[in-house]
Structure 1
Amino acid sequence: MHTPNNPQYPQQGASFQAVQEDEIDLKALLFNYLKYWPILGICMFAGILIAFLVNRYSTPVYKVESSVIVVDDKPTLGADLFEAGGLLQGKSNVENEIGILKSYTLAEETLSELNLNVLYFSDGFINQQQMYGNVPVLIEVDWRHPQLVGGMFRIEVLDNEKFSLSIEDDGFQVYNPADPFYKSKLTQDPFIKSIQYFGEEIKGDNYKIKVQNISALAGEKLLFQLKDSPSLALQYKNNISINPINKQASILTLGLETPVRRLGEDYLNKLMEMYLARELKEKNRAAENTILFIEEQLSGITDSLTYFENRLERYRSENRIFNLSQEGSQIFERLQELEKEKSQSEISLKYYQTLQTYLSNDQLDDLVAPSIIGVTDPLLNALVINLSELQAERIRLTANFSEQTPAVREVRSKIQNTKKALQENVNSAIRNTNNMLFELNNRIRTIEREINTLPETERRLLGIQRQFTINENIYIYLLQKRAEAEITRASNMPKNSILDNARALQNPIAPKKTLNLLIGLILGLILPIGVITVRDFLNTKIEDPKELENQLKVPLIGVIGRSTGDDGIPVLNNPRSSVTEAFRSLRADLSYLAVNKQKTCILFTSSISGEGKTFISINMASVFSLMGKKTVLVGLDLRKPKIAEDFRMINDKGMSTCLSTDMPWQSVVKPSGYENLDVILSGPIPPNPAELLLQDKFAVIMDEIKEAYDIVILDCPPVGLVSETKELFNYADVSFYVFRQDYSQKGNIQILNNLVEKGGVKKVYGILNDVHIDTGYGYGYGYGYGYGYGGNSYGYHDDVHVPWWKRALKRK
């Protein structure tokens, strides 16, 4: 018996009770779920079955891997000076190469070499397998024309010449080559199913393709899908993974997940090939710019050299003079050295001026390395090389990110700083070169004065030969530099290299079969438990006797099961039933609740109508009558009387008759038809039931009834609906408050608690009626009979066999 926290009722040790209740709650929670074991089992089986089907019919995905070696750049001469000054910031070569390998531009160049814009699929029963390489038909696409991309086409081969073309999946977008990065939605159906011929052009407003038969046979079916290059490049760019093998290493591992192993291997191999080709192109760009610069200078020198060569030959022939005198030769040699030095300085000045022009016009892609021209300034050489690399990095980043991205802004800031330093260095070099030329011109003019002392014929010959020699030296110098640049271009090799070619792993990485089965099992367990938990949380009706017992401030004295038939008096008509045993047990408990009382008045009430207080009142009166106790059942529910129906009586007179007239109560007593049991019905429904029960005459009648009978059972109206019941508690020796499983609201518990705490009602106990739902733990009273109660207004009906799945899905 539950002991409430009330001075009327004795208490056990608080700590022991708390521990015991915690343990019972944990067990009750466990058993509450275990009672749904068939549903849990079915859900877990369904989860495993779904996971098995996913494993069975999912397209396997393979991991393809390759690796490259990244060689760190050696610092150029003078670069360490700038890094120490903070002008040239250090960079991570590995991170840069990762960025290049993951760039959109490199992915697009790779795809243009592989021609992967058409995807072919075999027509499977459940899923579609992608085909690659040996395909039965070839789709030729004119990408200069708008095309339908994204959706799926179906081809069914009719014979060697014809095929049927239709739409399989209508998820198309329109790719326009005039605006390749933005696709528009398709507003109309592309075309209906049609018969086409192999090799003939299929053209519409948004498509232009040809289908060539390679090895397709009649009746063969396949699907194909068109992918535009920008979308495809973006897809591969996002799917590829590039990581160093560890933080200290400069070896990069490239990974790609794909359902077609050979396709992944071809893509990674081609990607590495294009990566090395790009690096070589970047290296050759400086040599190509140098060759172009030299050839521009040679085009002017060649004409001057030819002119002075012809003029020298004519002068020698006309004046019959071929060699200079000893004095003239000495002067010419001195002058030739100065002119050679002057010509090299002029070439350097032209380079500086060209470099200055490029910087002013932001032609950073056309920069020529000064070391190739012959300028040996290490400072200038380091600045030009660093600026070229920064420009290449900016181009790579802007191909994938916007101008406002922090990485792009950082590179742009570095370019501005390096460009400013280079401009200052070039301006200084131009000033120094002009000073050198000024000094050389002064020395040349000094020698020219010595030339004036020579004979006129020799003097003129020396002047012509001098011009010829100057152009010849420049021409030879430029030819030498061009040859060096060409040799440099021919000998260039990528500094990075392929370590491992692409290779697919033997086993697929997806689907993860064991993990999927485990997830299916867990979800099959968690989902129904979650549903049960939410349902129980949202349930506002009383189901669990233990929960009722814990929340009541009074003892829960009894649990009555559900009756098996339509009979409302199982105690009299079915004395061997388990429900009858429950009432006998309740009768036995009353000997402890009303000690040393030869005559007892027992009251039954509830919160609302329909909770079974009349059913319990009738059967409690019956169970006492079977003991030989002279018992009377008094119907005090003057608003909604029910007792007459169960005893098949006419409610023509009763307590309302006595209270409203002078008729004595003995005149309204009716025999029940059973020994030792009389019934006083409530009588006709009066207009003022509360006032009738509250008059002094009712108290007199009750005293007389108690004297006349051993047991008085009061069937009172619901205390939660009417007010007079609170006064009726005073007439009872023991009061019972009836709750009904899966019918009474949990809020009704507080009504009884308030009666005890605030209303001062004493000697009141709880009864749970119509117990038919197994809460999985037991009730602690031994009444878990599983019989039925319900039906009419109080709900009586036959006990029928309810399948377990209905009991689990529940209710009523």
Structure 2
Amino acid sequence: MNTYKLDYEKGGVNISRRHNFGEKEYTNEYIIKTDRRAELNENSVERLKQLKYRIVPHSETFLVNKIRRSMSIDNIDYTSILLVRLEDEIAVRAKMFLDTLSQVYINYSKRSDSLINAKTLFHIGNQIDTLKVRLDTIETELEIYRKDSTILNLDKESDKFFEEWVRYDSERRKYQLQLQSINNLEKYMKNTKDHNLIPPSFYVLERDDFLEQSLQELYTKQIQKNRSEFDIKFQHAGMQQLDSTISTMKKDILLYIEDTRVAITQKIKEVTKQTSQYADLMKRVPRRQRDMLSIERENQVNEKLYLFLLEKQANTEIARAGITPQMKVIERSRSIGKVGPDKERIYYIFILAGLVLAGVITFVKYIYFDNIERIQDLKDLTSLPVLGGIPNYKEIEDQQLVIHSKPKSQIAEAFRNLRTNLTYLNPDKEAKVVLVSSVHPGEGKTFLSSNLASILAKSDKRVLLIDLDLHKPKIQTTLNLSNDHGVSSYLIGKMGIEELTTSLPEMDLDVILSGPIPPNPSELILNEKLMKLIAYGREHYDMVIVDTPPIGLISDAMVFLNQVDVGVFVMHTSMAKRQGVEFLEEIVRKSGVPGYGLVLNNIKTKRWRTYGGGYGMRYGYGYGYGYGYGYGYGQGYIDDED
């Protein structure tokens, strides 16, 4: 049984066709290939006959849109690897499509390089054909001239004049060829539309690395733009920036071509002058001999240029064989199993699972939830001093400096309480330098630093706020200042300490911002100038508040933790756990900081009432913060920029 019959109805007409197993069959209505499986036998045939199939034809546009909706492309973090996924009812079809797509994409990138190589060969071939005709003409003239004239050998002086004349004239021809190529390149760039920009060959000349690199970068940007036009609208900021970059690169190349033209023209004038001098010297040679030398000289010049072009043509042909795609398939597509069960069933299952899960989560959270949400919970977990708590505050997006926006609010009172408790941390030594940090990003250390500095400034003290978070500074945003200069400028020697300070008279506060973000912030913190900056703050101010990166992710704060008087560590209720407290205890033990204390941030209203006697204000603080390296003990976070 190697055949099967297919009966179907189309337009009210019953049609029956017989096909062979394992062969691709073509009809006006469909293309089909059916493979016979081992379980197909006489017993199963009767059961299979009862099955009814409904085939719906779709247009090409519908199928393309369907594939686009089902396909996703992700860039694996910190790599140049693309992960392409496609969901389809038929796993074999999805695999075939992805394999074909990757092969077509690879061939497209290779075809672009091949097209540049082909244009180079075409340009060289045209010049070789022109030189062949010229060499044939010169050889014919030379043969005729030898028959009609008797030529004596030139003396040594004539040979010297001739050699110099040939050398300078050869240089002149080469410079003229360069000038012509430069002009052609300029004309091509001005008259060719961006999306067709494939630069003509100029490799036949003396290599100009700058021009070659610039054209290659311009071509790369144009290819990137052409590819992006399929997925990004023209008004997109990325597309406009790409257009601006291409325009700027074209202007720079055209300006460089103009300067090169001037230089080559000057060289042609100088070489022409030398050629004329030696031509005048050769006028002493008899006319026939001079004519003979002129023909031989022209023949030699063209032969050298011809050999030069042949060499370039061979090198370009060899380079063609070495053209490889710019990307490759790391892993071929494979099926990961069924991902799309019945939707209605999913709805009911998820509704039921959601209800059950909600009940389980509620129970587990009530019995086992280990987040620290109360001051008393924090005190019970650690022997470290607890300075106080900051209530939840929902208006943080509008105004972070609550000390000035709502000076009589409960959250402002919480900061006053924090100011009071801070004075008792280190009774043996005046607390002048206070370091503020946290275990995780987004726990509110910058918010606490800014408001703590503000509340201290209101107590008739000279206060200096320093932003030492050189990775992702935030104080300039909180205070609405420009971060053009700051600590990073001082550490690299561009500015002095006195130039760093920004005074805020309305707040009685001086601020030193982080400055431009350096490429090596953690190494820059090790600069000895940092200690001088801290010493300057001690000498000229009553209090110095230092905002640092999260100590649980980046070790910057550890560098000078023993140089400060007090270390204040902020813990956010959504992230505060036992592991974080244990980590801070270890930090305090190793660092030897004289004074230290914990602050619990984002205490919810119902929790706050049990601690503060009915505080009703709400405060919610958190912002996107991300670092690519550092210390972590299992608490994850998401970098979500504002």
TM-score, normalised to structure 2, is 0.47
**Which structure's relative contact order is higher, taking Cα pairs within 8 Å and 6+ residues apart?**
1
